[in-house]
Chain A
Amino acid sequence: MLRTGVVPDVTSTLTAPLQSRTSGASTLDFEALYRSARDDVYAYVATLLRDRAAAEDVTAAAFERAYRKQRLFKAARGSERAWLFGIARNAALDELRRRKRAAALVAEPADIEAALPEDSADAALRRAAVRAGLATLDPRERELVALKFHAGLANAEIATVLGVSVSNAGTQLHRAMTKLREAVEHA
């Protein structure tokens, strides 16, 4: 548990830096984008759908759509990652609609008790509290958390993906984090 003012450089599984990767050119290096964003897209979609199998399908579909539409990418409209996550979001929402038509959504139960092997008991408890708090968020708040912490998007990129202003995205993110903090504290 961190109590000091310095946050250690935790090993991250993110394959790309968190700073904006906005490119000035309209040409898209799909291979590089794929390599940097594959796990991020999966993490975001899995959080949104709460279904790992569906998340794999949607992730594959999102990358295929992006591959086929890469010529339509316009750098002036936002970063490559924002463009990619916009596609992934649409694919995920389409999947939600499809599942809604097919049957009532049955989300995978959150594996609250799951812990990383190296977790200490305290860390495991804290992680379980975070997962429980995350489960209390509504879908839009959970999506914001996923875009920020699972996908690693900057606030401006989140705003582009959601189609809102940057300040609005920041406000919503702050509101979601406040709610999550309260949920974690009460967990």
Chain B
Amino acid sequence: MPDLSPDVERELEALDDALGGRRVAADLTELGELALLLREDRPQPSDDFGRYLDNRVERGFPGRDPRTRVSGRRWLTWQGWMAPALGATATVVLVAVIAVSGPYGGDDESSGGSGVIANSAEESSSAGGATEASRASGSAADAGGGSGSGDAASAPAPQSVPPAPSPGSPGTDGREQRKVERSASLTLATRPRTIDTVSARIQEVTREQGGFVVSSTVSSSTGGGGGTFELRVPTRNLDAAMAALSRLGAVRERAQRSQDITARSVSARSRLKDARTERESLLKQLADAVTVEETESIRARLRLVSAEIEQARADVRRVNNRAAFSTVAVTLVADRSAAAPGAEEDNGSWTPGDAARDALRVLEVIAGVALIALAIAIPVALLALLAALTLRYARRRRREHALDAV
């Protein structure tokens, strides 16, 4: 025993010698005798208690011992397997929470081109549209294609498409005579290698819907690329076209706008009607003219009116065209994480390369989730460990204090 003085060490050895029945130095005999007296005088359990405890030990401590008051206050006995079980349960719950509300749960992106699609829809109807329409009711000849064909069920988010701005009863608000200009924009994401395929499909869809491509710009590269398209599609097919286009890639953004242009249509038609009336009047005046000067003056006036008529006709055609055809601006972006379902369906094959990429993607997601889980679990575990150590220390202190208080 180091750090003990020789005298202390000698007396302690004497105690052990006495208890072990060995010879004790003459000057420490009294100490040895005291040791034996202490040992002989130790408390002895009663025979009843001895038999009772022997019986419980033999039976493996069945049930709960009514005598063990000290352990009776614990409603749960900590078992060794509880720590890993608790840790595993906490990890599973954590991963589940992350999977549900993690990096892909609340984002505005759709992963893989299917499933959650977030749209931003806006509607910019002119504030005075309804007023102008009400003023123009009865003067417009043909009705614009306010609502498209019914492919809304297949659209990714039909509930976000703004309805045509035609509230009220068709019989009272002149809905069938109103002109509404509609436009839309769509941002699609697809894999870099499918940029060309999707671009071709955009043009095909446009043609299938009776529209045409006004302009397009497509660029493709190994790791990126993209394209922009300005399409004109019949307004009645706008919804169907949007739905078909949305299936070509992962929809990143979609917006639709509508504007009531009934007033412009009415204005152009009124000008056309006035010009025609004036021309008829001039033609009558021309027939009645007697002098050369008078005739020349009327003819000059007729030329001006004819030009006005042509201008008014052009305006009417332009307004009708704006109502009959909608402009769709499509932006195509390359994204390795996005899928192009339409393009893949067209290819009709799922190659081993696709499988490898998908597997890699799954592993990336799993690794990401595991990393996030660890980022949360490690501090939590450290805090739990700190709390456990603190509790243990406090418990030990309380126990020692209990002994001091006796």
Tell me whether A and B are bound partners.
yes
Kindly identify which residue among B8, B32, B61, B398 contacts A174, using a CB–CB cutoff of 8 Å: B8
Contact of A91 among B49, B60, B71 (CB under 8 A): B71
CB-based contact A155/B12 at 8 Å = yes
Interface residues of B in 11-61 (CB under 8 A from A): 11-12, 15-26, 29-46, 49-50, 52-54, 56-57, 60-61
In whole angstroms, what is the CA distance A186 to B16 when docked? Answer: 25
Of B62-70, B230-238, B349-357, the one with at least 4 CB within 8 A of chain A: B62-70
- Look across to chain B and name the residue whose beta carbon is closest to the beta carbon of A46: B43
Q: Main SS of chain B's interface residues? A: helix
Residues of chain A contacted by B45 (CB below 8 angstroms):
38-39, 42, 55-56, 59
CA distance A93 to B262 in the complex (A): 92
Q: How many residues on the A side are at the interface (Cβ–Cβ under 8 A)?
A: 80
Q: Does A12 contact B (CB under 8 A)?
A: yes
Which A69-114 residues have C-beta < 8 A from chain B? 69, 71-72, 90-91, 93-98, 100, 105, 107
- Bound-state Cα–Cα, A64 to B12, Å: 33
Q: A130-B34, A174-B12 are in contact. Are A9 and B406 (CB under 8 A)?
A: no
Contacts of B20 in A (CB 8 A): 18-19
In this complex, which of B24, B39, B46 has the most chain A Cβ atoms within 10 angstroms of its Cβ? B39
Query: Which chain B residues border A180 with CB–CB below 8 Å?
Result: 34
> Which one of B1, B43, B69, B406 lies within 8 Å of A57 (CB-CB)?
B69
| Contact residue among A9, A127, A174 (Cβ-Cβ distance under 8 Å from B37) | A127
List chain A residues, Cβ under 8 A from B65.
60-61, 64
Q: Which residues of B contact A64 (CB under 8 A)?
A: 56, 61, 65, 68, 71
Distance of A124 from chain B, by nearest CB (Å): 11
Chain B contact residue count (CB 8 A cutoff): 65
Query: B404 — nearest CB in chain A belongs to which residue?
Result: A139
A48, A55, A170, A181: the one contacting B1 at CB < 8 Å is: A170
Take A13-B42, A91-B71 as given contacts and tell me if A6 and B23 are in contact as well, using a CB distance cutoff of 8 Å: yes
Which B residues lie within 8 Å of A38 (CB)? 45, 50, 53-54
Question: Which residue, of A30, A56, A59, A140, has the highest number of chain B Cβ atoms within 10 A?
Answer: A56
Bound together, the chains give a CA A150 to CA B73 distance in angstroms of 29
Q: Which among A6, A30, A60 is the interface contact of B56 at CB below 8 angstroms?
A: A60
Cβ contacts A to B, 22 pairs, < 8 Å: A2-B30, A13-B42, A38-B50, A39-B50, A56-B49, A56-B67, A57-B70, A59-B49, A61-B68, A61-B71, A63-B53, A63-B57, A64-B71, A93-B400, A98-B69, A105-B406, A116-B40, A127-B41, A130-B41, A139-B406, A166-B1, A167-B3
13 extra interface residue pairs, beta carbon distance < 8 Å, beyond A2-B30, A47-B43, A58-B70:
A2-B29, A5-B26, A7-B36, A8-B21, A56-B45, A61-B70, A64-B61, A68-B61, A91-B70, A94-B70, A130-B41, A139-B406, A146-B42
A binding-site residues for B, Cβ under 8 Å: 1-10, 12-14, 18-19, 30-31, 34, 38-39, 42-43, 46-48, 52, 55-61, 63-65, 67-69, 71-72, 90-91, 93-98, 100, 105, 107, 116, 126-127, 130-131, 134, 139-140, 143, 145-146, 148-150, 152, 154-155, 165-167, 170-171, 173-174, 177, 180-181, 184
